[in-house]
Amino acid sequence: MEWLVFVHVLSAVVGLGPAYAFPVMLKKETSLVEVIRRSEMVTKLEMFPKIFGGIALVSGIILFWLGDYGPILSLWLGGSLLLFLLAEVVIIGFLAPAAKKLSSVLAKQKEGGASEVNQESSILLAKVRNFHTLAGVLTTLILVLMVFKPV
């Protein structure tokens, strides 16, 4: 069972680590080329939270079934699951569509020969950055609940 806890913790760290850098990577920038480069980098790095976040979820469910962690509605466990679902709603429901739209707008700007980020792109970039920040706050709260396990 200790190896499964190790897998659970390691996958959470490897999965969440890069995600904490996303808001910094998507800082306000005027150069269109730089915004496109950073957005593409974030898109590539998003595989870590997707893959390892899934492993953390599955290993956490297995740990709950195999272990004696108390009722699922305890604050730390139920709260963690609720925060995880909320984070997924933010990521899938808001962040992903905004990032897709940003990518499309940036591509159109590039095709049009622009070198600076226009107002629409700047607003979308801020939206995407804010959604990444919110997801980071939610996952940090999950980590706090997992470490301190309040009743």
pLDDT along the chain (151 residues), means of 10: 95 93 93 96 95 95 93 92 96 97 97 95 97 97 94 82
pLDDT of residue 151: 82
The whole-number pLDDT of residue 81 equals 94
Q: Is 71 exposed, middle or buried (0-12, 13-18, 19+ CB in 10 A)?
A: exposed
Q: Would you state the pLDDT for residue 29?
A: 87
Contact 45, 18 (CB under 8 A): yes
- CA atoms of 63 and 13, how far apart (whole Å): 17
Please give the pLDDT value at position 30.
86
Q: Read off the pTM.
A: 0.93
The tokens 């049009």 sit on which residue? 112
Residue 51, pLDDT score? 96
Asked whether 105 and 124 are in contact (CB, 8 A), the reply is yes
> Helices 119-148 and 32-45: crossing angle, nearest 10°?
30
